[in-house]
């Protein structure tokens, strides 16, 4: 009787401490996501709390990896080493070692709760390093932006690692039963990333990178250097229309995916797909001129979508 009475007393401090640490860790991840995820955060808000927290942990983990890969003070070799160390730190924590890093602590908990495969998280980090690997890139003239991918098939593989893998992690948290959800999530991620690529053509070119495939540039007689100034929109519009039409086809998978995820997650996915697809249509309404002020949905436009998302959640 004495042993049975004493055991709970010895365990009590551990039981109290872990939730406090986790709550603080998730709070940090929510803050990072709220500050940085300009579009994704609106979709996250429609989710039940436990799923929203898990996605914030994943986003914060990705944000840290992105910040490493974009750090101008580091060489590419140093960035790769830091990314490897970041992933190794997660593996250590996931295997049970203690940590005071809130992002890794929250991610490890989310991975366990929602059975997120470790290889998907590894692919997330790999995706952030792909811009550092230019062995497939072509640079016609020194000083021009680098055309990162020769064909749309090559670009698809890039989009898969930086966006589709995110979708595959998301559906682990959303909840799904049918394996078809995985292919649909992959294709939805492609739609999101193509939209980003179209919107950010000017910004990316200024950073020395062109994600539009070389074969498409050649087809429409557009050079990499054309993207750094004020290009001829008679040439640019058909090129960007091609990429937008591809994105629209992939967005159909996002709508179909709604039928394959848990009911309490459908409003969130609907919100995300609607925000991104409306961004694409806003670009189209501006005749694909993405070379002036950055095209984005206003906060008001996003809030209208969010309100409809909440209404769907209450139905």
Confidence of residue 39 (pLDDT cuts 50, 70, 90): confident
Alpha carbon distance 12, 27 (integer Å): 23
**Are both 1-117 and 134-315 of the same fold?**
yes
Q: Is 101 helix (H, G, I), strand (E, B) or coil?
A: coil
Domain covering 1-117, topology: Farnesyl Diphosphate Synthase (1.10.600)
Q: Decide if pLDDT at 160 tops 50.
A: yes
Mean pLDDT of 80-99: 89
Contacts of 14 (CB under 8 A, 6+ apart): none
Question: For the chain, what percent of residues have pLDDT higher than 70?
Answer: 90
Strand ranges, E, within 116-252: 146-147, 209-210
Sketch the domain layout of the chain as residue ranges: 1-117, 134-315
pTM of the model: 0.87
Q: Decide if pLDDT at 1 tops 90.
A: no
Alpha-carbon torsion angle 297, 299, 304, 309, nearest 10: 90
pLDDT at res. 18: 66
Structure tokens, 130? 């792909």
Strand ranges, E, within 183-260: 209-210
pLDDT at res. 262: 97
Nearest residue to 40 (alpha-carbon basis) of 24, 26, 57, 28:
57
Confidence of residue 142 (pLDDT cuts 50, 70, 90): low
Question: For the chain, how far is it from start to end, CA to CA, in angstroms?
Answer: 52
Residue 65 contacts residue 86 (beta carbons within 8 Å) = yes
Domain covering 134-315, topology: Farnesyl Diphosphate Synthase (1.10.600)
Q: Decide if pLDDT at 3 tops 60.
A: no
Instruction: State the helix-helix crossing angle for 165-174 and 102-114, rounded to 10 degrees.
Output: 60
């Amino acid at each position: 009787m004495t042993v049975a009475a004493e055991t709970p007393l010895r365990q009590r401090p551990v039981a109290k401490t872990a939730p406090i640490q986790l709550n603080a860790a998730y709070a940090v991840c929510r803050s990072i996501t709220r500050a940085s995820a300009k579009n994704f955060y609106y979709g996250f808000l429609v989710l039940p709390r436990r799923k929203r927290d898990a996605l914030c942990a994943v986003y914060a983990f990705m944000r840290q990896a992105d910040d490493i890969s974009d750090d101008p003070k580091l060489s590419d070799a140093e960035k790769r080493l830091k990314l490897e160390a970041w992933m190794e730190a997660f593996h250590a924590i996931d295997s049970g070692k203690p940590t005071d890093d809130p992002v890794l602590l929250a991610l490890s908990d989310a991975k366990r709760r929602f059975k997120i495969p470790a290889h998907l998280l590894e692919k997330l980090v790999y995706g952030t390093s792909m811009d550092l690997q230019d062995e497939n890139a072509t640079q016609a003239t020194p000083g021009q932006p680098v055309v990162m991918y020769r064909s749309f098939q090559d670009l698809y593989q890039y989009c898969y690692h930086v966006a589709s893998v995110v979708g595959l992690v998301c559906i682990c948290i959303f909840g799904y039963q049918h394996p078809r959800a995985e292919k649909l999530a992959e294709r939805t991620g492609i739609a999101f990333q193509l939209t980003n690529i179209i919107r950010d053509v000017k910004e990316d070119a200024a950073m020395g990178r062109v994600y539009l495939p070389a074969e498409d540039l050649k087809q429409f007689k557009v050079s990499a250097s054309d993207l750094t100034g004020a290009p001829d929109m008679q040439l640019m519009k058909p090129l960007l229309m091609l990429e937008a039409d591809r994105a629209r086809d992939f967005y159909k998978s996002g709508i179909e995916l709604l039928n394959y995820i848990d009911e309490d997650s459908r409003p969130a996915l609907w919100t995300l797909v609607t925000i991104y697809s409306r961004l694409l249509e806003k670009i189209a309404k501006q005749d694909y001129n993405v070379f002036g002020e950055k095209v984005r949905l206003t906060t008001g436009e996003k809030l209208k979508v969010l309100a409809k998302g909440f209404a769907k959640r209450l139905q």
